[in-house]
Amino acid sequence: MTSTIRDIARHAGVSVGTVSNYLNNPGVVSEKSQKAIRRAIDELGYHPRAAARSLKSNQTMRLGIVPLISPEENRSLEPSDNAFLEFLAGVNTTAAESGYGVLLQAATSPENELPIYRRLVGEQQVDGVILMGIQPNDPRIEFLLERKFPFFAFGRSSNNPNHPFVDVDGAKGMGMAVEHLTQLGHRRIGYITPPQGLMCSTHRWEGFLHAMGEHNLPIEDELVVEGNFNERSGQVAMHLLLDLSHPPTAVITSNDLCAFGAMRALQVRGLVPGNDISIVGFDNIRLASQWHPALTTIAQPFRRLGFIATQHLIETISGKEVDKHVILEPKLIVRSSTGAVKPR
């Protein structure tokens, strides 16, 4: 049964007028009352828009995306990282062709992500959502599956392998990177990993282990450093690797931005990427070909990923059967940041 404003007022111990003020002009309501009303709304599952209309009878013709934008967090986006912009371009173009708009609602921390999804779904602000930054046990996926709300994820989750997703074969991409470096004679290969807690980290690690094993190369703990998706993490991690008594001759990084940071660290030490130490990125953002030296990287087709996620989501909303599990192939792009190993 749908809760009413009177139910919220009774549960929160305030007047109906106070609840009405909170919903329309929260600034006039005391902080204490706001907290009590928010708690009552969460506990009773009250959503004002949901009370007014039904998703089936009145679609919004909007799709929702909630990127995490915070420099301190693992899945943050940086202005120079156009991977998200490419993905979003694919989403926007495909949505527009089908008469849909895209509602972009940024989350500033992992803690406020799920409440945003609850609001988008409960208030019926969108007809479906596209997920990014998938975790192994992702509470957003559990929530959306429980509500039977249409969604499509960019990435796989281990808590429910049957959820709809489009992804890139990260394990295969890591295998390509290792294969390329071994062909250049590298045996001591370092790895600046993506942050732990993401499924892409798990898949790439599995690919790294498998590829290193195929070439009978040992996994040395000191050569594996956890990084992030930004330049600073690449610089910090690369300096740690360079401080080793026996540094690696090649390093695979978590993404292109991290690779740029790693190359800056080499240059600070008077070393030349691709000559003294080889660097491999992951993504193939536009800056990769313009950097100096140009970056060897594993390309992910972000625009196509956005296109597939959106197309399949819209078809799901319309009741059509779609392929729920789509895995795309990565591609090795060889440029100047990798070269033959130098004798030491």
Give the CATH number, domain containing residue 245.
3.40.50.2300
DSSP assignments along 217-261, one per residue: ----GGGEEE--SSHHHHHHHHHHHHTSSS--SEEE-SSHHHHHH
The pLDDT value recorded for residue 51 is 45
Give the strand order in the sheet containing 325-328. Answer: 101-104, 62-65, 128-131, 151-154, 165-168, 325-328
The contacts of residue 246 (CB under 8 Å, 6+ apart) are 188
How many whole angstroms separate alpha carbon 35 and alpha carbon 144? Answer: 25
The pLDDT value recorded for residue 52 is 47
Residue 208 resides in a domain:
yes
Residue 227 resides in a domain:
yes
The pLDDT value recorded for residue 39 is 87
Q: How many domains does one find in the chain?
A: 2
Residue 272 resides in a domain:
yes
The pLDDT value recorded for residue 58 is 64
Residue 159 resides in a domain:
no
The pLDDT value recorded for residue 1 is 46
CA angle, 89 then 300 then 176, to 5°: 175
Q: Do strands 62-65 and 278-283 pair parallel, antiparallel, or not at all (unpaired)? A: unpaired
The pLDDT value recorded for residue 98 is 87
Residue 95 resides in a domain:
no
Name residues of the chain where pLDDT drops below 50. 1, 50-57, 71-80
Helix (H) and strand (E) counts in the chain: 13, 12
The pLDDT value recorded for residue 160 is 76
Residue written as token pair 């600070």 = 268
| Residue 42: CATH number of its domain | 1.10.260.40
How many whole angstroms separate alpha carbon 17 and alpha carbon 94? Answer: 44
> Cα-atom radius of gyration of the chain, to the nearest Å?
24
CA angle, 184 then 189 then 193, to 5°: 130
Residue 276 resides in a domain:
yes
283: domain range?
170-300
Helix (H, G, I), strand (E, B) or coil at 200: helix
Residue 5 resides in a domain:
yes
The pLDDT value recorded for residue 77 is 47
Two structure tokens written together for 120: 């988008």
Residue 263 resides in a domain:
yes
The pLDDT value recorded for residue 55 is 38
